A = this chain, B = another copy of it.
Amino acid sequence: VRIDVNRSVSEANDAIAEKIVHSLSGKMILCINVMGAPGSGKTTVLEAIVPQIGAARIAVIQGDLESDIDKKRMEALDVPTYQINTHSGCHLNAVQIEDAIRELDLEGRRFLFIENVGNLVCPANKRIGQHLNIVVSSTAEGSDKPRKYPIIFKDADAVVVSKHDLSTAVGFDESTYLIDIQKMNPHAKLVKTSSKDSSSFRALAKWLEHEWKRFYSQARPAQG
């Protein structure tokens, strides 16, 4: 008898993820898995869209090996936030998200953002109950990142090119980057942002609102 351990773990995870999606959809909440390398600016992106979408419509689950630094940043903006510390874990899984959702009051929320562990490899293609994937990738990381980490970029619904103000200083080759994304994932929404310019996050907030409507404009919240 040959037992495929990884496969059965992954199937159990996906069944729970499916349940989460179903439950959140019933509440007309859009769940967004925010992924990116360490220091790509995932929390900064969330901070910047809070005032544009409204703190009252957002809840956040923060994933990190250690520390609750990012949870505190979100709570400073009055966004209810649950911290998951994975310790040595390299990505979040559906069981952790199920537990976190149990602790969060999602009444009246439209968006549940899950900030995954900083990692361009392991969170890719994992189902944790998300409707959409956002990949944040900073200009400081270099323009070759889509070529080197294609799996996560191929599966992104939106790619946020963060720290755009550093482009010149770091010699970011934007045309190569954009051509590569276009080749591997032509449907991804592309947004350039800079923490120095709050208006640069408007297109992302608008896209999120648009996606919420795409999922739910025909829907009515489920009973109970």
List the interface of chain A (C-beta within 8 A of B).
5, 37-39, 64-67, 69, 88-90, 117-122, 124, 138, 140-142, 144-145, 147-151, 163, 165-166, 169-170
Question: Are A39 and B145 in contact, with the CB atoms below 8 A?
Answer: yes
The reply to whether B148 and A64 contact each other, CB–CB distance below 8 Å, is yes
- In the complex the two chains form, what is the Cα distance from A39 to B144 in whole Å? 9
- Other than A38-B148, A88-B121, A89-B121, give 6 A-B pairs with Cβ distance below 8 A: A65-B148, A67-B147, A117-B121, A119-B122, A140-B166, A166-B166
User: Mind listing 20 A-B residue pairs with CB under 8 Å?
Assistant: A37-B38, A37-B118, A39-B138, A39-B142, A65-B121, A65-B148, A66-B148, A66-B149, A67-B147, A67-B148, A69-B147, A88-B124, A89-B121, A90-B90, A90-B121, A118-B120, A118-B149, A138-B140, A140-B166, A163-B170
Cβ of A66 to closest chain B Cβ, rounded Å: 6
**Distance between Cα atoms of A64 and B170 in the complex (Å):** 21
Whole-angstrom distance between the alpha carbons of A150 and B65 in the complex?
Answer: 8
What is the chain B residue whose CB lies nearest that of A37? B38
Whether A66 pairs with B147 at a CB distance below 8 angstroms is yes
Inter-subunit contact B149/A65 (CB<8 Å)? yes
